Amino acid sequence: MVTVKCYPEAGKVLRIERLNKSYGQRLVLRDLNLTIAAGQIYGLLGPNGAGKTTTINILCHLLRADSGLIRINHSAVSEQTKRLIGVAPQETLLYRYLTCEENLRFFASLYGFRGAAQTQRVQACLAAVGLSDRASSIAETLSGGMQRRLSMAIALVHQPKLLILDEPTTGLDLEARFEMWQLIRQLQREGITILLTTHLLDEAERLCDRIGILKDGHILAEGSLADLRQHIPAQEVLVIQTTQEEKAIARAQELQFPHRRYGSDLAFWLPQPMELQEIITLFDGIPLDSISRQPVRLEHIYLEIMRTMFNS
């Protein structure tokens, strides 16, 4: 596992140690370790069935772990720690025929907000997600992006220490996705600590301070993007199209450029960025139909970690 920075205990909002959970004979979480410092955005990545939802349900005290330690803001997870967590689920759970304000007032009342305190909190949450001008709009008339923002406002209404965003931009169009990213960054600037699950690697790459890659209930690797880049000894990824792939691979092996397949793409890892003419010269005699130079991205790192750990 990649070594990551250590944060002082006082700054930890979430600490999970050696968490285990089984359903019958099926082990879903195995010795899961995870720490989130105050003010961080932590991205939890992994394929379906990796254990992300089970982890969230245990944090929310909806499931009981078989063993392990969980502390949220220094308190062991319990019925009482539910107030420390706000969850914006992938499926928006709104009262469709209530207005934005009415939705928020209902949830605020569940947490004991009354009178002027409730009004102040509702207005603050609407402002935080950019929906002040839609306070009187019926929830079902909102766009998908606005419904997600209202769901996030509901998750924030009781001022939680940890905000969990489960696939916050799934199904949104590009413009709504960018707006959601901007909102998440703004919430972080306001000091909110966020646990984000996503299948969109560019989303994690743009937003997250630290990333954990989860498979079969265990963190394979975690750290900042810079930490995780240590899994790929390359400065650039070269993707080519050629009718003579075997010859191109043989040439790359001579040059000590590792090769990988990303779907149908043939790619080589370059030890340093190279100019186009230099690449053409190195592959002289091999017809190159197209050349694409790419930075090492999270998608390359993710696939390499999955490949390496699976084969180890």
> In a 10 Å sphere around its CB, with 0-12 CB exposed, 13-18 middle and 19+ buried, how is residue 261 labelled?
exposed
* Confidence (pLDDT) at 3: 29
Domain 9-229 - what CATH class? alpha beta
Would you say 301 and 228 are in contact if contact means Cβ atoms under 8 Å apart?
yes
281: tokens are: 């010269």
* Confidence (pLDDT) at 10: 54
pLDDT single digits (tens) 260-269:
999 999 999 9
The CA-based angle 264-265-269, given to 5 degrees, is: 145
Q: Give the span between the Cα atoms of 52 and 226, in whole angstroms.
A: 23
Query: Over pLDDT 90: what percentage of the chain?
Result: 91
Domain spans, the chain: 9-229, 233-295
* Measured distance between the N- and C-terminal CA atoms of the chain, rounded to whole angstroms: 13
Residue 225 has pLDDT above 90, yes or no: yes
Residue 184 has pLDDT above 70, yes or no: yes
User: What's the pTM?
Assistant: 0.90
pLDDT single digits (tens) 82-108:
999 999 998 888 999 999 999 999 999
CATH number for the segment(s) 233-295: 3.30.70
Q: String of b and e for 198-229 (b: at least 16 CB within 10 Å)? A: bebbebbbbbbbbbbbbbbbbbbbbbebebbb
> In which residue are the tokens 């949220």 written?
72
